[in-house]
A and B are shown apart, each in its own frame.
Chain A
């Protein structure tokens, strides 16, 4: 494995003239996205949209790592899945309110992130990917065996806990606004992080780690913090999904979930601001509407992977951005 200096992940670069860290075009795109989040539920099926938003959050968290730090984790399902289990369990058995249950999900994700990160962060590239994959497999087996996860059946009939203890989330639209709010909050938070001085150091680490080290930055600390933030948001996303569907199962911690989030980000565009959201939308829609064709879902997903990697490395948003010479 060569040093990270040769890392050439296709990443769109942001241009310097910005408003609150957004270029004018990005600001317009953001406005469009907010408008879409606000108005689509009157047209589209809200439960489907909530699923998209949960995965969009998950994908954004993942993108923070691969797009801005250059680390490919193949174990993100562990954070997502454990977040979903803990949220479901606390909402069902302790009767926690929605925001506390989801927060605990995030904290669980971050906690596992500390362990994973501590073990894996010193390694690069494929080694990093393999170690995160292997650790996530351990988490999967723990979930399979531990009594609190309900094994194969998962945690079912999770009530949609009340927000702040008194706002009912029973109707799909009430739940939708909570999910939309969470999504927008973390979307903006990630953007804020990326454009902070901290984020600049992360990018420096991605571009040339030895040089960043020689400038006096403790690069491993930066990477670890980014990893923990990413796992926290992944846990939040998992917890939110558990509340939306009232169920937390092994699907969420399974290795294929890790693969799915990679697919979303890759398809949308690595290191782009809006790419992960678009990727999540496309992949979730595909799964939903190809469900009747059986194994063709797998084949299509695989084919998209292959095509993306071979001909389309910038992803949908990255490709559009490159055509228009814009950073999206």
Chain B
């Protein structure tokens, strides 16, 4: 009996040592980079199928009332966005005219590296994607990544030789400054790690903020230019005893259907 438990103990110890070696290997950059490329190669066909299926499965678990409420919420958001887009377009026209008056040349100085999403990894601790551009293309950590429609997708989290891992805004490691679309000063600090929404902390109590207001980047972060759309205010948490408000922002970047992203390499 005793020899049997000793035998099991030895087996456990050997398994644990082997696993420990593998766990250490899994943290090395060379293994992570190479395996990322290899796994993305075998995962990408399944990711395409998953994109096609999309959120169809969610309908099974939603009640009729929930679906109607969501539809109404989306319609409200569309209306709100249409109003903002109209205001934005008008402001842009005015700016262009003002720049012409001042004699500035049009055009911007940003360098954007287009990258293809090789594979998406939605796991419990983080939502990240592997893109096909890496250190050789000038990608650096903390650079901003945007979608085709201009919404902030995430930040570069890890860089390998030919690939890079982009973490979504909902990742617990992401921290960046945000502001309201109409304002010029930083409103608060955006933090991930709160499920599908991003928490915006340290917002002053007297701030005039409403549900569905658009939050954009404030430009306080060195690699993230100001004015990139982050998302819409989803909930406002107000504690009369606390000096600050807490906002919960729903990111606008489409996760499911995005296949191409742009990595911003210089300020807009």
Q: Do A and B come from one complex?
A: no
